[in-house]
Amino acid sequence: MGDTGTAPDATTSTPARSAAATTPSGPGRDLRGIGQAAQELGVSIRALRYYQEMGLITPSGRTAGGNRLYAEEDLDRVRRIRELQTLLGFNLDEIRLILASEDRLVQVRVEYRATSDDGDRMRLLIEAQQTYERLRGEVSDKIRRLEAFRGELDERLARNKQVRSAVVHARTATDPAEAAEAAEAVTTVPPEPTGPTGPGASAVPAESGRARPPAAPHRR
């Protein structure tokens, strides 16, 4: 397999080295087996296969035996998928639509450079604008949901602070009536909201109950 002057990776598998007969090759093209690709990306082999099943990636080639082979651009696409997952919390269905839009934008740029017709160029520019606006809308919606989730967490922090203050008051109050009033304040804190609306809500376990303050004299 040809390269650009750098020695081939010593860990390249035998199937990857023999792929030239079944896979398009070119200067600097370096293909990896699925195991090596997964190791470089820090993901599982199962994840790579699932991305392919979802239509998110298409390996650049296969060996004569049918094993998947991944080029650097395939790895870059997986890195993009992981970025969209971890940075903005998009799910795989959303990512598939984003990648399809980005792929189309690449085609639009190619078509724009290939034509000198002003009408075609204007049509392509309008399509690109609409695609960018759609992607921006997806990101803006995700940001709004993140901000809503942050606001919910701020409310929970405020309630936590209120409960802690009431607990301290109940423990330090010397007057029985005052202590009882503080203890009652702890037990009448507004309930937590149900069904978090923000991204990652499923990862935040619902509280099973609040901490109770130490026993305090009850109002007679």
Q: Which of 57, 69, 58, 56 is nearest to 20 (CA)?
A: 69
Residue 11 CA to residue 17 CA, distance in Å, equals 10
pLDDT values of the chain reduced to their tens digit, one per residue, 220 residues: 444 443 333 333 333 333 333 444 444 468 989 999 999 999 999 999 999 999 999 999 888 888 889 999 999 999 999 999 988 889 999 999 999 999 999 999 999 999 999 999 999 999 999 999 999 999 999 999 989 999 999 999 998 888 888 777 777 766 666 666 666 655 555 555 554 444 444 333 333 333 444 444 444 4
Model pTM score: 0.59
pLDDT for 23 equals 47
- DSSP assignment of 144-201: HHHHHHHHHHHHHHHHHHHHHHHHHHHHH--SHHHHHHHHHHHHTSPPPPSS--STTG
The 8-class DSSP code of residue 151 comes to: H
Task: Measure the CA angle with vertex 29, ends 26 and 34; round to 5°.
Answer: 135
pLDDT for 87 equals 81
pLDDT for 175 equals 64
